[in-house]
Structure 1
Amino acid sequence: MPSDFTLKAANAVHRALLRISFGRWGTEFYGMPALELTTIGRKTGQPRSVMLTAPIVDGDDYIIVASRGGDPTHPAWYHNLRGTPTVEVSFRNGPRRAMTAHILSAEQRAPLWSRITADYPVYGDYQKRTTREIPLVRLTPVTEGA
């Protein structure tokens, strides 16, 4: 399981790659589109950003996986969006968009988890490393007037 230092270093390298290549590199990771998720810190109230992959893109919605590499604890960003589900997303280094995070129920998760692990078996490996059920989160655009 990755340490906090390793995760933060990987995120910093990913952001630097996007920045120095002017968005030409780093918009995909392991064959999945990459996005930057900005949540509001549950303890600090400050914006917190993390680079993630979206193994499923469903129109304007993105499915993200709170795997943390199979760690026994949920990632900090997952706890943050549970407290404040309104987030900002930059998909493939595009413009930031306001979105709402919806943690999927077991029934909603099951068919998507099957798709994800079939296409990206590493997520199944992560699930084997932990006793917690790895959550899936659907990010949906905030609609005008909502």
Structure 2
Amino acid sequence: MADKKPTPPWWLKPMNKVFMLMMRLGLPISGKEGPLVLTVPGRKTGQPRSTPITPMYVDGVRYVVAGFPGADWEKNARAADTATLSSGRNSELVRMVELSADEARPLLRRFPELVPTGVSFMKRSGLVTDGTPDEFEALAGRCAVFRFDPA
């Protein structure tokens, strides 16, 4: 799988817009620790750019895995000092800290257990075949993993 460049499915951007609208309206999408809207300033324009994310929680700390290497939100997050996480009418200013490949490995290994909805997505994108912990751990250094710290 490592040789195949993952590409977002055609429906991703329209579906993200639907998810964000549902989340802003407070409509349930999944469990209590479900998706959030991540807003970061665009690296070129400075204009706010929003995308839905599904964080994973490990020992009370939130992390997010980029579903596509080189995604725009990932590049914007690297360039930004702070980001905003929103759920319904609640929002929180955070700092996004990108983890090294070594730091990311144990978190990626737990991804299939902690974010099961992300497994099928990453299978369809061509990043993993079976969705095993070993496959996800092997994505370290290829798929960015960010930790959310208080700003």
Report % sequence identity. 29
Secondary structure class of the residue paired with 1:82: helix
Give the 3 Å change call, closer, same or farther, for CA 25–33 of structure 1 in structure 2. Answer: same
Cα distance per residue 1:62-112 (max 9 Å; x no partner): 2111113xxxx411011001111310111x435111100011111210111
Would you say the 8 A contact 1:127–1:133 is kept in 2?
no
Correspondence list, 1:1-146, <5 A: 1-3=7-9, 6-19=11-24, 22-26=25-29, 28=30, 33-56=34-57, 58-59=59-60, 61-68=61-68, 73-90=69-86, 92-93=87-88, 95-119=90-114, 120=116, 121-122=119-120, 125=123, 126-128=126-128, 133-142=142-151
In structure 2, distance between residues paired with 1:52 and 1:8: 13
> Which 10-residue stretch deviates more, 73-82 or 114-123?
114-123
Deviations 1:11-51 (A, max 9, x none): 111122234xx41412x37x961111000100111111111
CA separation in 1, counterparts of 2:122 and 2:15?
A: 21
Kept in 1: contact 2:95–2:148 (CA 8 A): yes
Give the match's secondary structure for 1:128. coil
Structure 2: runs of 5+ lacking an equivalent = 1-6, 130-138
Structure 1 gaps, min length 5: none
CA distance in 1, matches of 2:150, 2:89: 14
CA deviation digits over 1:92-134, x for unaligned, max 9?
Answer: 43511110001111121011111113443447635337x8711
Q: What is the total number of aligned residue pairs between the two structures? A: 130
Across the aligned residues of Structure 1 and Structure 2, the Cα RMSD in angstroms comes to 2.6
TM-score by length of 1: 0.74
Q: CA 1:96 to 1:138, structure 2 compared with 1: closer, same or farther past 3 Å?
A: same
Question: Are the aligned partners of 1:36 and 1:49 in contact in 2 as well (CA < 8 Å)?
Answer: yes
When residues 118 and 25 of structure 1 are mapped into structure 2, their CA distance, relative to the original with a 3 A threshold, is closer
